[in-house]
Structure 1
Amino acid sequence: MSKLYFRFGAMNASKSVQLLTVAYNYEEQGKKVLCFTPSTDDRYGHGKITSRVGISREALIVHSETDMFTIVEQNPVDCVLVDEAQFLTREHIQQLANVADDLNTPVMCYGLLKDFRNQFFEGSEALVLLADSIEEIKTICEHHNCGRKATMILKIENGMPIYDGRQVEIGDAQYHSVCRFHYFHPQGIVTKQKH
């Protein structure tokens, strides 16, 4: 029986590039993949999975009403890949679990675990509850003198840390992957500049 996988990490942990590599490897073997990305993520345009290293591919857009199970059922593939899975709903995650169980198709979801408020995203929480395999993709704290593992997302606005507010604001210019210590003591975090 196929599995539902959740591979999570902080920002800049190479989640998208890993997804794109998996897709490439499947297709190199003559196998079919189906890639999904939520409509929420429009940083690089809708319907694109794009890595910061510059590679990208087209993907099906998931809206709140999208039935992912039916799409996969009608378009049989060897693997389903989902980018930014934290933005999916609980219902979407259940649909993906059903893809693994009922269609015997492996599903690999990549995304963030928590938001800048240190709260689960809806999709991430559902994946923690339903996934057969949960794997952390590690990266290091962005503080210039720190070598610890980044486990949290720090939001900076006007040079000040923000710990509450709206959960979803797309774009990485004001978010930083940090360790727990620098989440609560953010002095020394350099604000990124938008290009």
Structure 2
Amino acid sequence: MAKLYFRYGTMNSGKSIEVLRVAHNYEEQGKKALLLTSVVDDRFGVGKVVSRIGMQKNALVVDDKLDMVELAKTEQPNCILVDEAQFLSKEQVAQLIVIVDDLNIPVIAYGLRADFMGQLFEGSNALIAAADTIEEIKTVCWYCDKKAIMNMRCKDGEPIFHGEQIQIGGNESYVPVCRKCYASKRKSSLNA
């Protein structure tokens, strides 16, 4: 029986390298892994899954027009891997559920749990509610040795705590932090 997996982590926790690793493992065994990524993340070009360590692979783009259920029926993959799953809509997560439950194809979705203000993304919220298995991909805080659970947005190296929910960026814009360091930096910015 197929399952829907949601594997989440902060920025810089290795989610994309994990997607690429799992895709490689399927392909090395002669199996078909369908790799999908959000149209929203265009840091390295639309339709690319890119790890910070330099590995990359082309992927199909998930946008409002893509019918993932029909795609799965046509392609008949052994597995579907989704990078940047936080950007999915509730309706797109519902399509993934149909793929798992009706087509018996496992889906592994990777993404951020929450934004830089600690608010769940729509896709993450829907995946947390519906996934058979939820797994954390861990990394360490930028400022101390605790586990990072928050994404802190920075501008010119300084933490910021306001703005639009979605701002595409990498290490120049976000650092993974623990809750204590996040709270400390937030308090400092309010007192400045």
| Alpha-carbon separation, structure 2, partners of 1:178 and 1:48 | 26
Q: Which amino acid aligns with 1:43?
A: R
Cα distance per residue 1:57-90 (max 9 Å; x no partner): 1100011232111111111010000000001111
Query: Is the helix fraction higher in 1 or 2?
Result: 2
Root mean square deviation of aligned Cα: 1.2
Report whether the alignment pairs 1:140 with 2:140.
Answer: yes
Gaps of 5+ in 2: 187-192
Report whether the alignment pairs 1:18 with 2:22.
Answer: no
- Aligned partner of 1:183 in structure 2 is 182
Report whether the alignment pairs 1:167 with 2:162.
Answer: no
Once the two structures are TM-superposed, the CA of residue 159 in structure 1 deviates from its matched residue by 4.9
Provide the TM-score with structure 2 as the length reference: 0.93
| Alpha-carbon separation, structure 2, partners of 1:130 and 1:61 | 22
| Alpha-carbon separation, structure 1, partners of 2:165 and 2:73 | 32
| Alpha-carbon separation, structure 2, partners of 1:118 and 1:99 | 30
- Aligned partner of 2:189 in structure 1 is none
- Aligned partner of 1:53 in structure 2 is 53
Secondary structure of the structure 2 residue equivalent to 1:110: strand
Aligned pairs (5 A) from 1:83-94? 83-94=83-94
- % identity of equivalent residues: 50
Secondary structure of the structure 1 residue equivalent to 2:185: coil
Provide the TM-score with structure 1 as the length reference: 0.92
| Alpha-carbon separation, structure 2, partners of 1:137 and 1:158 | 27
Once the two structures are TM-superposed, the CA of residue 163 in structure 1 deviates from its matched residue by 2.1
Cα distance per residue 1:122-152 (max 9 Å; x no partner): 0000000010000000000001xx1000000
Gaps of 5+ in 1: 188-195
Secondary structure of the structure 2 residue equivalent to 1:98: helix
- Aligned partner of 2:190 in structure 1 is none
Secondary structure of the structure 2 residue equivalent to 1:147: coil
- Aligned partner of 2:105 in structure 1 is 105
Secondary structure of the structure 2 residue equivalent to 1:134: strand
Once the two structures are TM-superposed, the CA of residue 162 in structure 1 deviates from its matched residue by 2.2
Once the two structures are TM-superposed, the CA of residue 158 in structure 1 deviates from its matched residue by 4.4
Aligned pairs (5 A) from 1:58-97? 58-97=58-97
| Alpha-carbon separation, structure 1, partners of 2:18 and 2:118 | 24
| Alpha-carbon separation, structure 2, partners of 1:30 and 1:148 | 40
Closer, same or farther: CA 16–158 of 1 in aligned 2, 3 Å: closer
